[in-house]
Chain A
Amino acid sequence: MSFALVFDPLFRVPFANGLLLALVLPLLGSYVRLRNEWLAALGLAQVTAAGGVVAILLGIHPLAGAIGAAVLAAGVKGRTERSGNDVYAVLLFFGWSAALLGAANSVRGEELSHALLEGQLYFTTWANLGGAVVLFALVAAAGPWLSRRLLLEHFFPEHLSANGQAPWRLHLAFDLLVALSVALATESIGVMATFCLVFFPPWVAFRIAASWKRALVHAVGISVTAYLAAFVVAIVLNQPFGPVLVGTLVLGGVVRLPFLRPR
């Protein structure tokens, strides 16, 4: 057990990669929750894991397979023109089945499958960090534009179509952004930690925040705090990162208990 390991240059790339994901995922998760599609992250993460495993079987880089599978899933979901969790539940079952079957038929696939389940942030590379930087830039650039339209479309669903605009374009753009985020995150921190960063911080923030802007700030604050704590704890105690992060977030979630009244 050594606290000095936290500052080892070996962990700088994983730290920056995870931090960017901890900033982006709860922001997107807030809009996913608004659309009542909170299962999206788990469904897409599972499909992403399957894409990574299948990519290995095909001799392709797992990150490329993961992103391809997530984008394909978002496209399929977009074609159904349905919001809600049922499509993501189907994706979840399909992804789980494909990932485990792929892992059962390849040694490297099995290794990757375990890594995606546990979430091994400390083994991520410059390629992962590059993806996270691109994702962060995309969200920073498109976020304000997307935010107003997603809220408007949610509360006034006829607004776009009444003005001759096609709502499916907005939905597809958002679904693709979520798919890309989940693919990059699943490859870095694993299936369940990705789902947790999308689901948990907004779940708590929606309860306690006095406004939408504050909910976003709360969600990011909860996410980054849990991430920093988990990063240190997992290194110092030599534990897999994914379960430590999920455990930290769940413990933090007690603030959502009924005794804390929303403002």
Chain B
Amino acid sequence: MSSEPLLSYREVVAGYTGPVVGPVSFDLHPGDVLGLVGPNGCGKSTLIGALTGASRVFAGEVVRGTGVSIGYQRQRPVRDADVPLRADELLHLTGADAEPPESLRPLLGKRVDRLSGGQFQLLTVWACLGGEAQVVVLDEPTNNMDPAAVGALTDLLQASRGDRAVLVVTHDARFLAGVSARILEVGR
């Protein structure tokens, strides 16, 4: 790749009170899908937590491209029992409401608290993928999903624009294979 990376991890060692994971290095360019894989507790979420300040960087550096914005879907999306936000209003928050995929259109007029866990997960993933962010971080996006929903998620990733990069933290190797992701094993 000759273009400037949208996001670079350079020998990053991350943790909380002490180092947990690293050193890890990678570059993300437009069109990349990078899968961070590894066993539970190996520090995958700690590594991406360095982007938000949820974890500390003990060594190395995280470098963002100039003006690059980041969309971040957490492992357990915030889902309230009684909030009257409609699905299309949720997508509007991130600017992802312009051209939602066919699979999401039947959900758009519904309140998000009336959706199933899998439907809500798909919606929040598209809110990140279809929005204005150039780098999208998805932390365990296949949680709560049955095989059909994982298939729909794969379609969403392929439908997203090619000028963004996606960083996926997951333990689901079949899902990563389905989206043709580069794979980086953490904790080895």
Contacts and interface: CB of A to CB of B under 8 A. Distances in A.
A157 B84 contact: no
Contacts of B107: none
B53 A212 contact: no
A163 B128 CA distance: 13
- Of listed B69, B77, B84, residue having the most chain A CB within 10 A: B84
Nearest to A36: B80
Interface string A157-173: 11101110000000000
B52 interface: yes
Contacts, number: 72
Contacts of A209: 84
A163 to B, nearest CB: 6
A156 interface: yes
Contacts of A154: 78
A68 B183 CA distance: 56
- Of listed A152, A159, A212, residue having the most chain B CB within 10 A: A159
B93 A152 contact: yes
Contact of B93 (A148, A211, A215): A148
Interface string B63-77: 000000111111001
B86 A211 contact: yes
B78 A155 contact: yes
A205 interface: yes
A157 B51 CA distance: 13
A151 to B, nearest CB: 6
A162 B54 CA distance: 10
A206 interface: yes
Given A152-B94, A158-B54, A262-B111, A163 B86 contact: no
Given A158-B74, A211-B111, A151 B85 contact: yes
Interface in A18-70: 34, 36
A214 B84 contact: yes
B93 A155 contact: yes
Contacts of A152: 93-94
A215 B113 CA distance: 14
A155 B77 contact: yes
B150 interface: no
A162 B77 contact: no
Given A155-B77, A162-B137, A207 B82 contact: yes
B73 A156 contact: yes
B72 A159 contact: yes
A206 B80 CA distance: 11
A213 B109 CA distance: 13
A34 B83 contact: yes
B83 A206 contact: yes
A161 B54 CA distance: 9
B127 interface: yes
A104 interface: no
Given A154-B78, A161-B52, A163-B69, A211 B85 contact: yes
B93 A163 contact: no
B140 interface: no
A142 interface: no
B86 A212 contact: yes
A120 B186 CA distance: 65
Interface in A184-223: 205-207, 209-215
15 contacts: A155-B77, A155-B127, A156-B93, A156-B124, A161-B53, A161-B54, A162-B51, A162-B70, A162-B71, A205-B84, A206-B82, A210-B111, A212-B85, A212-B86, A214-B84
Interface of B: 51-54, 69-74, 77-78, 80, 82-86, 89-90, 93-94, 111, 114, 124, 127-128, 137
Given A36-B80, A162-B52, A206-B83, 7 more contacts: A34-B80, A148-B93, A151-B93, A156-B72, A156-B74, A158-B51, A212-B86
List the 10 shortest-distance A-B pairs measured between CB atoms, nearest first: A158-B72, A211-B86, A209-B84, A161-B52, A162-B70, A215-B84, A158-B52, A162-B72, A152-B93, A162-B52
